[in-house]
Amino acid sequence: MPRLLLLSHPSALLHDTGPGHPERSARVAAVLAELERAPVQGATFVEPRAATREMLERVHTRGHVDRMLGRSGRVGMAGDETPVSPRSIEAALLAAGAAVDAVEAVGDGGQRRAFSLMRPPGHHAEADFAMGFCIFNSIAVAAAHALATERAQRVLIVDWDVHHGNGTQHIFESRRDVLYFSVHQFPFYPGTGRATERGTGAGEGFTVNVPLSAGAGDDAYRRVFREILRPTADRYQPDLVLVSAGFDAHGDDPLGSMSVTEDGFADLTAEVCAIADDHASGRLALVLEGGYSLPALAQCVRRCAAVL
């Protein structure tokens, strides 16, 4: 049994967003090149399966799934800032499928850690529409799959992308079986993620947002994880931990305005590993979200994978 499962597929390179778009195939290419240059001990690559309609419709409306599948083989826009090319829907299905495969790997015993290295990202995708570079909400699909197949009863989703994961929050905000925790730059795109957004109905209190001002770095993030995330997780006692692992809070990222370093992201990874070890028998899966400085993204992924 490998120490770490890395999920990757060539389709991630075939989602063409056009010239000048920050969410480009070079992102995954840079990550894979870095992992080839400096392999992570105990890590094994596997290719994922595509997500099925049943998996997608646990979190997306039938209409959204139909619209996105109907764009397969076409060029155009799937949503706000979300261009698609002929192979984009294939890539999005495999990205969602990779998150599901990661959950199955850690949920079925034996495998403790997995990291999906796919694109497009997913946490902005809402139940009924694509947005913010995201077509399907991969981490939401994976969490819902874990619950529906009884691989988990309480899922903690930690989102450290510089942007708030509006889609993930809204999909689960009325539920108690998923606790969504986000630390992000605010005010910033997409405009959601205020501390007062705590969930709705039965899910009130199971959404935790920690908005940070531009410029926040390693110390601020470590403090959030130590003083807010850890006690929140200890109260919730998740039996599965998932991470929306975006690296656009890095100080070199062209879209974000934060100052997190590679060391900082490694420390955040160690914190979620400890939470998973203490509450979820070590069951932890990371899903790649943003990160648009190619050197920073590649280094951050390798450092986090080494910690896992």
Q: What CATH number does the domain containing 16 carry? A: 3.40.800.20
- Res. 193 pLDDT band, cuts 50 70 90: very high
Cα 2 from Cα 272, distance rounded (Å): 20
Cα 34 from Cα 47, distance rounded (Å): 18
Q: In the beta sheet, which residues pair with residue 119? A: none
Cα 106 from Cα 17, distance rounded (Å): 32
Told to judge if 124 belongs to the known catalytic residues of this protein, a careful annotator would answer yes
Catalytic residue among 124, 163, 164, 279: 124
Q: What is the pLDDT of residues 174-188, one digit of tens each?
A: 999 999 999 999 999
- Count other Cβ atoms within 10 Å, centred on residue 58: 15
pLDDT at 78: 95
pLDDT at 1: 83
- How high is the mean pLDDT of the chain? 98
Q: What is the pLDDT of residues 237-282, one digit of tens each?
A: 999 999 999 999 999 999 999 999 999 999 999 999 999 999 999 9
* Domain span at 131: 4-307
Cα dihedral 260, 276, 245, 57 in deg (nearest 10): -160
Q: What is the pLDDT of residues 9-40, one digit of tens each?
A: 999 999 999 999 999 999 999 999 999 999 99
Torsional sign, CA 117, 123, 127, 128: negative
Total domains present in the chain: 1
- Res. 110 pLDDT band, cuts 50 70 90: confident
